[in-house]
Amino acid sequence: MSEPTEEALAVPVADLRPALEAVLMVADQPLDEPTLATAVGYPVPEVAEALAGLSQEYADQGRGFDLRNVAGGWRFYTREEFAQVVEGFVLEGQQARLTQAALETLAVVAYQQPVSRARVSAIRGVNVDGVMRTLVNRGLVEEAGQDGEHGATLYRTTSYFLERIGVVSLDELPELAPHLPDLDELEDELRERTSEPDPVAGEDQPEEQP
């Protein structure tokens, strides 16, 4: 008797929609359609159709969660109207929101990436080292190599950042970049300022609190 071939085994092992729900329930990051198709053993077009159907079904039923396609993959999310309830339960009153300083710094990185900390500091007019560490620790910003001219570490936003703000790519960000100051002019101004003697010798620039 011939042994079953690998192709013969690559068949659906469960109903499509429940299988997708089971996989998505344990996923700790968004999963794209090819990955899900491999997991449940169905063709990608059928998986895409089933995902869209599930998403619409949850919305029509007014469930406490949504299934969304964000940052290039599908994942369950708490519906917006219940976010405060969940936040209160998970955080037990602790504040997890980013400060205004962190939000402003994150916006600069998002629109000017890849960008160095020095340039972010030039745009914001304050030392952003502490804020940048917070953004990196939160998984919203990551290193993106080095500046070939100065050797400074460059930073960019992460896929988690896209996931949190609910967009698939940076192209979907609002058109705000033209309103930001010119980086080259700011860098020249910063260089001129730093070449002048400090009012108090040895005094460090105060670091903005994250």
Q: What is the pLDDT of residues 18-27, one digit of tens each?
A: 999 999 988 8
Around Cβ 128, how many Cβ atoms within 10 Å? 27
CA atoms within 13 A on the CB side of 23: 21
Phi, psi of 10, rounded to the nearest 5 degrees: -80, 65
Starting at the edge strand found earlier in the chain, the sheet holding 115-116 runs 115-116, 153-157, 141-146
Residue type present at position 69:
N
Contact 170, 157 (CB under 8 A): yes
Single pTM value for the model = 0.47
Q: What is the pLDDT of residues 138-195, one digit of tens each?
A: 889 999 988 877 788 999 999 888 888 878 888 887 775 455 555 455 445 444 543 4
Q: Over the chain, what is the mean pLDDT?
A: 77
- 177 by DSSP, 3-state: which? helix
Reported confidence tier of residue 48, pLDDT bands at 50, 70, 90 = very high
Phi, psi of 52, rounded to the nearest 5 degrees: -65, -40
Reported confidence tier of residue 124, pLDDT bands at 50, 70, 90 = confident
Checking if the pLDDT of 11 tops 50, the result is: no
